[in-house]
Amino acid sequence: MITKGVLERVFCIRHGDSIGTAFTVDIDGKQYIITAKHVIDGLFGVGRPSTVEVLRDRTWHNIGARLVGEAPLNCDIAVLACDVLLSPPAAITASSSGIVYGQDLYFLGFPYGLHSDSGDLNHGFPFPLVKKGILSNIQKQEDGTVVFLIDGHNNPGFSGGPVVWARPGKITPRTPGEIVKLDYSVGAVISAYRFAYDKVYLGGEETPLAYRQNTGIVIAHPVDEAVKIIEANPAGCPIK
């Protein structure tokens, strides 16, 4: 079960012909937008404000935003600050601390722009799709970038979406008639998926053609890199 406090923080964004996902976090009284660097590639220049297109009430709206910072090297994370609050303030932790191998995870986003019309339930913003995965591996690349490999099926449009998890020990024991309270944290940011080229056969004969296959391995980066950017430049939208 994904709580409303998570769902209402995930947004469908567009840059040119590319649709991606972004989500909000609230840190030290300010709100920030986190997404993948490649989703907003070329949209922002150093010190130059711009706008980001956000889907609301079935219409794309240009919202003023500025780049707070980008993660270094091959870490696919960018942090923005919008001119207005996109989601109601909520205490949701942004940290991968405590995630372990085999951890159940959920990732949210808008693959191919798919969504559900939530109407007033989410202030006019659409609800994202939710998928479940398992943390299969944690790797450190040669350039120092940390990568989470998640067993799950990602699609174009999920990029920039949050990977959330329920912290161990924070799930209220179930008793008759009791509602289970889940304390979710954002642990990572979706980047892409690993692919492999498979050969194409015709009548049992191999051809020189190949197609790109989704391996079912999702690539994500720890959200802690976004928190570092925010701590170095606390320039978010003030929460009033």
Q: Which residues contact 184 (CB under 8 A, 6 or more apart)?
A: 2, 3, 5, 6, 92, 164, 165, 166, 167
User: Does residue 215 contact residue 193 with C-beta atoms inside 8 Å?
Assistant: yes
The residue range of the domain holding 101 is 4-238
d(CA 168, CA 171): 7
Tell me the whole-structure pTM to 2 decimals: 0.89
Query: What's the pLDDT tens digit per position in 150-202?
Result: 999 999 999 999 999 987 554 455 555 554 455 789 999 999 988 888 999 99
Q: What CATH number does residue 87 fall under?
A: 2.40.10.120
Structural domains of the chain, count: 1
Query: What's the pLDDT tens digit per position in 116-154?
Result: 887 788 889 999 999 999 999 999 999 889 999 999 999
